[in-house]
């Protein structure tokens, strides 16, 4: 998600009047079909949702009553929602950091002369394409107490590390995070590989002639040139992991207890199991605020980083 926020220069060169006379304008009418779909699916429901967050709305027959900030007070005191808030932040931060590092390492390793590099790229990227529901069930089975992971650990003499990966509340969240990273590390990898393609080999040659070693070249030539790719990878992972639903819902349903609850999962359960529409949209509004806050934070952080470079 590389958002180019600066307004693109459309006119330049000949005086605007002359150009305008020569160029008929593209009619706004052509925008209408897209705008209708977008307004119907995203804009209007989102605005409605933001409004319902301040009501006790509970379904079609009920008239929503304004309750002020009650939903938010409840959200910050109810154990499920509090746990979800904490887990969502933990998942987002840890997934983003680890996945970016793993993806970068894979990209650096596979942007080399390895004979098997194309095969390996194909393999590492494959999980990112598969439905999260299927990935969730696959890992749910692998992580059962008598499942393949514990069997495999036993087979290589590491039986002592065996866990009830999804059933023990002290490791369940870490297991979920590991599955997410396993699925999406390949995505970060291909973003970095695209970035590495753009690093001119001459720069490396020049640095080598100046006596720079492997690490120095990585540190002072490659990494600074990967800042744009890092921006893309970070925002993609961050926003995706904040909204995380599918894998958690199918693997643990938020359990054991509230150990792996996320805001998306709690929101879904409050809305479609408990029928508390007002409260559930309040949870969604908090999630939205968090997404926007992280996006702003990242934008500012990266700008500062780019200035320093």
Partner 1 sequence: MSVVAVRSAARRRWTLPRIGAELGMLALAAIFLFPFYVFLTVALKTPAELARSPLSVPTDPALANFTEAWQRGDLGTAMVNSVVVTSLSVALLVACGSLAAYVLARRGTRLGYGMYLLFLLGLMIPLQLGMVPLYQLMRDLNLLQTYTSLIIFEIGHQLPLAVFLYAGFLRALPRDYEEAARVDGAGSLAVFRRIVFPLLRPVTGTVVILSAINIWNDFLTPLLYVGGSPQQTLPVAIFAFRGEFASQWQVIFAGMGIAIVPILVVYFLLQKYIIKGFASGIKG
- Site residues for partner 1, 69-128, by CB under 8 A, read 108-116, 120-128
CB of 77 to partner 1, least distance (A): 21
Is 295 a binder of partner 1 (CB under 8 A)? yes
Q: Which one of 40, 66, 76, 305 is in contact with partner 1 (CB under 8 A)?
A: 40
Is 155 a binder of partner 1 (CB under 8 A)? yes
Is 131 a binder of partner 1 (CB under 8 A)? yes
User: Where are the alpha helices (H) located in 161-276, listed in sequence order?
Assistant: 172-197, 201-209, 214-217, 223-225, 227-242, 246-251, 263-272
CB of 31 to partner 1, least distance (A): 4
Q: Which one of 134, 158, 227, 297 is in contact with partner 1 (CB under 8 A)?
A: 134
CB of 68 to partner 1, least distance (A): 19
The CA distance from 219 to 118, in Å, is: 25
The CA distance from 307 to 9, in Å, is: 23
| Residue 290 CB neighbour total at 10 angstroms | 17
- Site map 161..180 versus partner 1, x via CB under 8 A: --------------------
The CA distance from 53 to 61, in Å, is: 18
CB of 121 to partner 1, least distance (A): 7
Residues 243-282 that bind partner 1 (CB under 8 A): 243, 245-246, 249-250, 263-264, 267-268, 271-272, 277, 280-281
Residues 10-29 that bind partner 1 (CB under 8 A): 10-11, 22-28
The CA distance from 285 to 226, in Å, is: 34
Dihedral angle sign, alpha carbons of residues 140, 141, 144, 149: negative
The CA distance from 125 to 115, in Å, is: 17
The CA distance from 280 to 58, in Å, is: 10
CB of 13 to partner 1, least distance (A): 12
Q: Which one of 14, 45, 145, 159 is in contact with partner 1 (CB under 8 A)?
A: 45
Residues 180-239 that bind partner 1 (CB under 8 A): 182, 187, 190-191, 193-194, 201, 204-205, 207-208, 214, 217-218, 222, 229, 232-233, 236, 239
CB of 258 to partner 1, least distance (A): 18
Angle between helices 172-197 and 132-142 (to 10 degrees): 130
Q: Tell me the two tokens of residue 164.
A: 């009830």
CB of 159 to partner 1, least distance (A): 14
Which residue lies nearer to partner 1 by CB, 173 or 187?
187
What share of residues in the chain are helix, strand, coil (percent, to 5)? 70, 0, 30
Is 66 a binder of partner 1 (CB under 8 A)? no
The CA distance from 162 to 158, in Å, is: 8
Is 287 a binder of partner 1 (CB under 8 A)? yes
Query: What does the radius of gyration of the chain's CA atoms come to, in whole angstroms?
Result: 24
């Amino acid at each position: 998600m590389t958002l180019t926020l600066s307004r693109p220069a459309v006119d330049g060169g000949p005086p605007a009047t002359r150009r305008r006379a020569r160029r008929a304008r593209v009619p706004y009418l052509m925008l209408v079909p897209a705008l209708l779909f977008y307004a119907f699916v995203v804009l209007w429901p989102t605005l409605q949702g933001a409004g319902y967050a301040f009501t006790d709305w509970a379904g079609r027959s009920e008239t929503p009553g304004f309750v002020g900030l009650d939903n938010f007070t409840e959200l910050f005191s109810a154990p499920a929602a509090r746990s979800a808030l904490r887990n969502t932040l933990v998942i987002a931060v840890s997934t983003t950091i680890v996945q970016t590092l793993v993806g970068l390492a894979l990209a650096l390793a596979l942007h080399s002369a390895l004979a098997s590099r194309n095969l390996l790229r194909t393999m590492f990227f494959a999980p990112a394409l598969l439905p999260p529901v299927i990935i969730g069930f696959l890992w749910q089975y692998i992580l059962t107490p008598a499942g393949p992971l514990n069997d495999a650990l036993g087979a290589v003499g590491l039986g002592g590390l065996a866990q009830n990966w999804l059933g023990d509340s002290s490791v369940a969240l870490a297991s979920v995070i590991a599955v997410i990273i396993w699925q999406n590390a390949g995505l970060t990898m291909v973003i970095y590989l695209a970035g590495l393609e753009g690093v001119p080999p001459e720069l490396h040659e020049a640095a080598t002639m100046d006596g720079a070693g492997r690490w120095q070249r990585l540190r002072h030539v490659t990494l600074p040139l990967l800042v744009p790719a890092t921006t893309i990878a970070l925002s993609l992972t961050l926003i995706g992991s904040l909204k995380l639903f599918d894998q958690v819902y199918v693997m643990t349903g938020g359990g054991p207890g509230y150990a792996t609850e996320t805001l998306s999962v709690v929101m879904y359960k409050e809305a479609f199991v408990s029928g508390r529409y007002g409260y559930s949209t309040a949870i969604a509004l908090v999630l939205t605020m968090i997404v926007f806050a992280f996006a702003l934070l990242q934008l500012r952080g990266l700008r500062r980083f780019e200035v320093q470079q």
